[in-house]
């Protein structure tokens, strides 16, 4: 039981530290201590680069403070199962992740029917993944497709999943680490979205025996909103902004599920028991 509780505390430390660092970044950006904490966070949240720096700082602090010293003996990358992949597996995982984005987005839409998100928050997220300048695009790419997948996968699949697996076995570790991944995202729609995604990411990490596979897949999930803006092709319920909850068409969801399943089937076929 102690392993579950320890993993819970580590996972919950992520949003707590993110909130703390985001507020501090806001105060530094505004160069004032007279603004409220909420105002500071809203100011910092306007810049995608802040997300990258804050996420890296939060996960870095957690690893420095809590990562077991006994696991560092073989080198950090090996201790978090960052191992080479062969045969285009990383590319297949990225493709599977890109296809998986739409079903996950629709899961978030369904949750919004029960727990709505304010239009202001939806507009902020829309702006984040629809940059209007080249620097905004680079910053969003860095934050969403590089930093977030690397830091979150090293923590949840490279560390927590493997620790739980050693203690309790594959299935309990997969379920609990995925639930923790969801909880770390705080908001209701994001919790469900991340928990479902975490199950697949964890299964891929266990199957391939490499966190690189789940990093590639996570990057694919996060990359699709940037690669498929509404200016290129309009997909209701995915890259549109509306005060009402919109849903992705059923046929498009079927195509996405089939694409993800096909890519994952190739991954499974290429990574038998070794």
Dump pLDDT digits (tens) for 212-262.
999 999 999 999 999 999 889 999 999 999 889 999 999 999 999 999 999
- For range 155-163, the mean pLDDT: 96
Q: What is the CA radius of gyration of the chain?
A: 19
Q: What are the angstrom distances between the C-alpha of 178 and each of 158, 171, 203?
A: 13, 11, 10
Q: What are the angstrom distances between the C-alpha of 19 and each of 126, 139, 150, 178, 187?
A: 20, 19, 19, 21, 13
Reference 9, options 53, 55, 65, 47; nearest CA is 65
**pLDDT the model gives residue 117:** 87
- For range 89-104, the mean pLDDT: 97
| Secondary structure (DSSP) of 10-53 | HHHHHHHHHHHHHHHHHHHHHT-SSS-HHHHHHHHTT-HHHHHH
**pLDDT the model gives residue 174:** 97
The structure's pTM equals 0.95
**pLDDT the model gives residue 71:** 73
Listed in sequence order, the residues at least 6 apart from 230 whose beta carbon sits closer than 8 Å to its beta carbon are 130, 239, 240
**pLDDT the model gives residue 86:** 86
Tell me the helix, strand and coil percentages in the chain, rounded to 5.
Answer: 75, 0, 25
Contact 211, 154 (CB under 8 A): yes
**pLDDT the model gives residue 1:** 67
The pLDDT tens digits for 16-71 are: 999 999 999 999 999 888 889 999 998 998 888 999 999 999 999 999 999 987 77
**pLDDT the model gives residue 37:** 92
Q: For helices 89-114 and 188-208, what crossing angle results, to 10°?
A: 160
């Amino acid at each position: 039981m102690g392993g579950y509780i320890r993993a819970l505390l580590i996972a919950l430390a992520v949003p707590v530290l993110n909130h703390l660092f985001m507020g501090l970044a806001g105060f530094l950006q505004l160069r004032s201590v007279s603004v409220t904490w909420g105002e500071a966070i809203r100011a910092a949240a306007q810049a995608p680069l802040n997300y990258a720096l804050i996420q890296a700082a939060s996960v870095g602090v957690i690893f420095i403070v809590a990562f077991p010293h006994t696991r560092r003996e073989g080198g950090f990358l090996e201790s978090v199962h960052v191992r080479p992949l062969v045969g285009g597996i990383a590319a297949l995982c990225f493709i599977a992740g890109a296809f998986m984005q739409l079903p996950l987005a629709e899961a978030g839409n369904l949750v919004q029917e029960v727990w709505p998100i304010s239009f202001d928050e939806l507009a902020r997220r829309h702006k984040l993944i629809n940059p209007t300048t080249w620097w905004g695009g680079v910053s969003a790419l860095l934050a969403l497709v590089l930093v977030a997948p690397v830091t979150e996968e090293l923590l949840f699949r490279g560390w927590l999943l493997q620790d739980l697996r050693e203690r309790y076995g594959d299935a309990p570790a997969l379920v609990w680490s995925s639930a923790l991944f969801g909880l770390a995202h705080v908001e209701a729609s994001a919790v469900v979205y991340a928990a479902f995604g975490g199950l697949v990411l964890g299964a891929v990490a266990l199957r391939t025996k490499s966190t690189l596979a789940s990093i590639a897949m996570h990057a694919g999930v996060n990359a699709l909103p940037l690669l498929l803006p509404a200016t290129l092709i309009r997909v209701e319920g995915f890259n549109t902004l509306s005060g009402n909850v919109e849903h992705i068409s059923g046929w498009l969801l079927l195509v996405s599920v089939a694409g993800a399943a096909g890519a994952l089937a190739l991954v499974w076929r290429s990574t038998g028991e070794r």
